[in-house]
Amino acid sequence: GAVVSQHPSWVICKSGTSVKIECRSLDFQATTMFWYRQFPKQSLMLMATSNEGSKATYEQGVEKDKFLINHASLTLSTLTVTSAHPEDSSFYICRPDRGGTEAFFGQGTRLTVV
Amino acid sequence: GEDVEQSLFLSVREGDSSVINCTYTDSSSTYLYWYKQEPGAGLQLLTYIFSNMDMKQDQRLTVLLNKKDKHLSLRIADTQTGDSAIYFCAERDDKIIFGKGTRLHILP
């Protein structure tokens, strides 16, 4: 399957600070990147969709000014959680899409805001 | 909007078959997926099926799709302790929508 690298795998930050999460597709080019989050014992919820070189499209209820997405190249997308608060603590997962049938996800980043 | 439903828990004895069921609402789904998630880990793609197929078998895994009833199932033959995880059903049209996951517990 495709190789997707997400970094960091876990991060603890202080309330009010910003955290950047990177997602790289190592062996394919991703024209579209999907970002999900998963609260404990919940399902994955789509946060936003971004196309390379374009602004991201956010799902209803997701604040675009809080979750900044950059998709500057076909192999790298970043999600920045700005002014993080404890309620932002979650598991964030990326999915770079190369247009095929199979859908591979990053390993996830567990964010804990204290 | 689209919705994917699964039962939350399933307990199975080691060596028996596990059957995890899923229903979805989007009739325009093109693919349906099964993912496995172990504690603290990301999602592992187990298998997928095209919406125009009825069945797909891959080693111990068998996927059955009833498109008319919008019902998908995953059968794991000879369930092992390593199969203990949360299994997510997902349907895809332009986006991938996930169910809440079924926690599979293996009894000795």
CB of A42 less than 8 A from some CB of B: yes
- CB contacts under 8 A, B 63-82 vs A, are none
How do residues A3-44 score in pLDDT, each as one tens digit?
899 999 999 999 999 999 999 999 889 889 999 999 888 889
How do residues B28-38 score in pLDDT, each as one tens digit?
888 999 999 99
Query: In chain B, which stretches have pLDDT less than 70?
Result: 1
Q: Nearest 5°: phi and psi at A86?
A: -55, -30
Instruction: Answer yes or no: do A46 and B96 touch at CB < 8 A.
Output: yes
CB of A1 less than 8 A from some CB of B: yes
Alpha carbon separation from A68 to A46, A61, A96, A98 (Å, rounded):
14, 14, 17, 22
How do residues A70-100 score in pLDDT, each as one tens digit?
988 999 999 999 999 999 999 999 999 987 7
Q: Nearest 5°: phi and psi at A15?
A: -60, 135
**A113/B64 Cα distance (integer angstroms):** 42
Instruction: Answer yes or no: do B88 and A44 touch at CB < 8 A.
Output: yes
**In a mutagenesis test of the A interface, which of B29, B34, B98 is the best target, namely the one with the most A β-carbons within 10 Å?**
B98
